[in-house]
Structure 1
Amino acid sequence: MGSTAAESQKKKQIAIYSDDSSVRASIVLALGNRIADDLPEHEIHEFATGAALRQYIDRKSQDGTFKIDLFILDGEAAPEGGLGVARQLKDEVFNCPPVLAITGRKEDAWLAAWSKAEASVIHPIDPFTLARTVADLLRTGSLTSA
């Protein structure tokens, strides 16, 4: 049988922002439908522009259906980098969910901290590191280790 509306409400909601469709695809592939046995399935919302992500948040906030459990933002996105988008979300979204930033280099971790992201991983994306980090963030709302 198909899932009911109540069941689909229980799914974790993950928003991915990257202008690069191959980055979005690698994130979706790494996360699959469920990243850990102790977590429910998740639903992924993909955005190619910061403007589209903000429109989605604004629209869902206005109609009262805004429910994102995690943002995954590509710091290398252009023309608007995910780190700037992360900072804006943290400054403007009430009770902003956790943010996972994807940076270009390990040395860019300070930029992820500036953006107020709870965690960061580096390009190229290692699917196991990404899945473990996402699972930690969904469980606790913060990073336990990376």
Structure 2
Amino acid sequence: MANPTVRSEDSVPLRVLVYSSDAATRDQVMRALGTRPHPDVAEIEYVEVATEPVVIRTMDAGGIDLAILDGEATPAGGMGIAKQLKDELDACPPIVVLVGRADDRWLADWSRAEAVVEHPIEPFRLAEAVVSLLRRA
């Protein structure tokens, strides 16, 4: 069986939701990953989201392969949103939570996010987490 994350000429881009109330954080995530973070992974198409209601509505609609949620976003943090999505969606895609402090990892574990990456965002660390999850998805 073919791996859907492996890139081919006619492959469909993977849809990655990036949530943060801060446009600079969303931009940093997308620039860190680029459109193709690894040769084995299909091209990425980003869905930028700035508010919790839009995250919920977009995830409910389906078609998202992975979500990156900013745990430092306000007024709704990514960890709480991750927990809600994991509790409410039957087929929730993998989630990466961005945390402000290493001590917040326990909360990210509580949220049932599959990966945690700390601010400031290190491109290689973020790409490693994202590629690993996309390969498993």
The letter of the residue matching 1:75 is G
1:112 paired to 2:108: yes
Among 70, 75, 79, which residue is 1:74 paired with? Answer: 70
| Alignment match, 1:139 | 135
SS of residue matched to 2:133? helix
Question: In structure 1, what is the Cα distance between the partners aligned to 2:57 and 2:88?
Answer: 13
What runs of 5+ residues in structure 2 fail to find an aligned partner?
Answer: 1-9
SS of residue matched to 2:107? helix
Question: In structure 2, what is the Cα distance between the partners aligned to 1:86 and 1:110?
Answer: 14
The letter of the residue matching 1:39 is V
Question: In structure 2, what is the Cα distance between the partners aligned to 1:39 and 1:57?
Answer: 21
1:4-83, aligned counterparts within 5 Å?
A: 7=10, 10-58=12-60, 60=61, 66-83=62-79
SS of residue matched to 1:40? coil
The letter of the residue matching 2:48 is E
SS of residue matched to 1:45? strand
TM-score w.r.t. the length of structure 2 is: 0.89
What runs of 5+ residues in structure 1 fail to find an aligned partner?
Answer: 1-6, 61-65, 142-146
The letter of the residue matching 1:105 is R
Question: In structure 1, what is the Cα distance between the partners aligned to 2:40 and 2:16?
Answer: 17
| Alignment match, 1:121 | 117
Question: In structure 1, what is the Cα distance between the partners aligned to 2:16 and 2:58?
Answer: 13
Any runs of at least 4 consecutive aligned residues in structure 1 with deviations exceeding 6 A, and if so which?
Answer: none
Question: In structure 1, what is the Cα distance between the partners aligned to 2:102 and 2:84?
Answer: 22
Question: In structure 1, what is the Cα distance between the partners aligned to 2:59 and 2:102?
Answer: 30
Question: In structure 2, what is the Cα distance between the partners aligned to 1:55 and 1:117?
Answer: 19
SS of residue matched to 2:124? helix
Deviation at 1:57, TM superposition (A): 2.9
Question: In structure 2, what is the Cα distance between the partners aligned to 1:21 and 1:124?
Answer: 15
TM-score w.r.t. the length of structure 1 is: 0.84
